[in-house]
Amino acid sequence: MSLENKKINIQEDWKIYKNEFVDLEPNNSYPIDDIWHYFQEDILHANYKDFFIDLGFYGEYLDNRKGFFRLIVAKGGFGKGELYEKFLSRSTDEIKEKIEFYFNLILSKSVENISGLKYDNEEHVDEYDIYSAVNNIFIKLSDEDFEKLSTSQ
């Protein structure tokens, strides 16, 4: 089974290394065996200068379609840099809106006026489950919150 990519307005200045973000919600009526590969940790990766946007699906999709999309927007690399957004959702529309927002914000250079969360290894990125430098949000989710997020409609 082959599905269309989600329509995202990608400006030509961005370099897309991978885009397998399809227009398919986690809760769908397709047989899991036909679509599980669309819900993996490496879905989309884009770069503009030192900035990157990374999207993956995390959780046990093969176990009753559990899990969520995780969007990371940062400057630097996976090991060291500045985090601007860490967003979790099961909605492809919400993810699309965030991606397009950051494509535009970064190209407009407005992000240069925002201080992100500095990190020097992967553990600091995991300090907060949901983080937004733009909206000043810092949230650590409980196990119960993760379970709700992983199975929400």
Domain definitions of the chain by residue range? 15-151
Report the pLDDT value the prediction gives residue 126, as an integer from 0 to 100.
Answer: 65
> If you average pLDDT over residues 16-42, what whole number do you get?
94
d(CA 16, CA 129): 25
pLDDT at 45 over 70: yes
Q: What's the pTM value of the predicted model, to 2 decimals?
A: 0.92
79 confidence band (pLDDT: 50, 70, 90):
confident
pLDDT at 153 over 70: no
d(CA 11, CA 46): 11
> If you average pLDDT over residues 60-86, what whole number do you get?
90
CB contact at 8 A, 27 and 153:
yes
Question: Which pLDDT tens digit goes with each residue over 90-147?
Answer: 999 999 999 999 999 999 988 888 989 888 875 556 667 889 999 988 888 888 888 8
Query: What are the residues whose beta carbons fall under 8 Å from the beta carbon of 30, sequence distance 6 or more?
Result: 1, 24
